[in-house]
A and B are shown apart, each in its own frame.
Chain A
């Protein structure tokens, strides 16, 4: 199984809502990532979890809160988002600590904040 599964595929939320994005992989990868991608732009790294510990936070606003309950799951909790947070949110996984780590990406969650 070389899939990274993200749910939901689409999400529309108001600025006062609380929602969560979910990501799951069963490849035994111990590094998982959240990227944000705006239209016609490359993905930008938000967070890295390595061995279930938050390793990198790329100065992301606190209205985004990541969580890694176990080695297969990664969540992104959303609260009080702004319209400019509308984007495609991509989850990825890879094997940390190796120079040849290709990343496997999920299909993304298309988020619209209204």
Chain B
């Protein structure tokens, strides 16, 4: 079963705007990761935040993690048409040693020029 839930399910914005999506999870985690998937392709790792971190930046990406609320957010600043994709959060459970990932339902982002 998927333990991560994401909202919104879909997001449509114009180039230059910021895109924010949220992820909630249920169990204690080692880390939380965000992946991007272009239509019908493989997943590309974007950023990983450890359970003892609260915020992380990578280029135009900003991720926050609130372990007390079991939630995370991904912010993409100054979006581009090339950011059009599905975005998934994925958690690694604290009790798992195999690197098993539980994915959220995903947010489909469309950036129009």
Contacts and interface: CB of A to CB of B under 8 A. Distances in A.
B35 to A, nearest CB: 8
A44 to B, nearest CB: 8
B26 interface: no
Size class of the B contact interface (CB-based, 8 Å): 20 to 34
Interface stretch (B42-50, B60-68, B70-78): B42-50
Interface in B9-36: 30-31, 33, 35
Contacts of B30: 99-100
A42 B105 contact: yes
Given A55-B98, A100-B31, A102-B48, A42 B103 contact: yes
A43 interface: yes
A50 interface: yes
Highest count of chain A CB atoms <10 Å: which of B42, B99, B108: B99
Contacts of B98: 31, 48, 50, 55-56, 96
Interface of B: 2, 4, 30-31, 33, 35, 40-45, 48, 50-51, 88, 90, 92, 97-101, 103-106, 108
A30 B44 CA distance: 19
A107 B42 contact: yes
29 contacts: A4-B42, A6-B42, A31-B99, A33-B100, A42-B88, A42-B103, A43-B101, A44-B103, A45-B101, A48-B99, A88-B40, A90-B42, A90-B43, A92-B43, A96-B98, A97-B97, A98-B99, A99-B30, A99-B50, A99-B51, A99-B92, A100-B48, A101-B92, A103-B43, A105-B35, A105-B44, A107-B42, A108-B42, A110-B40
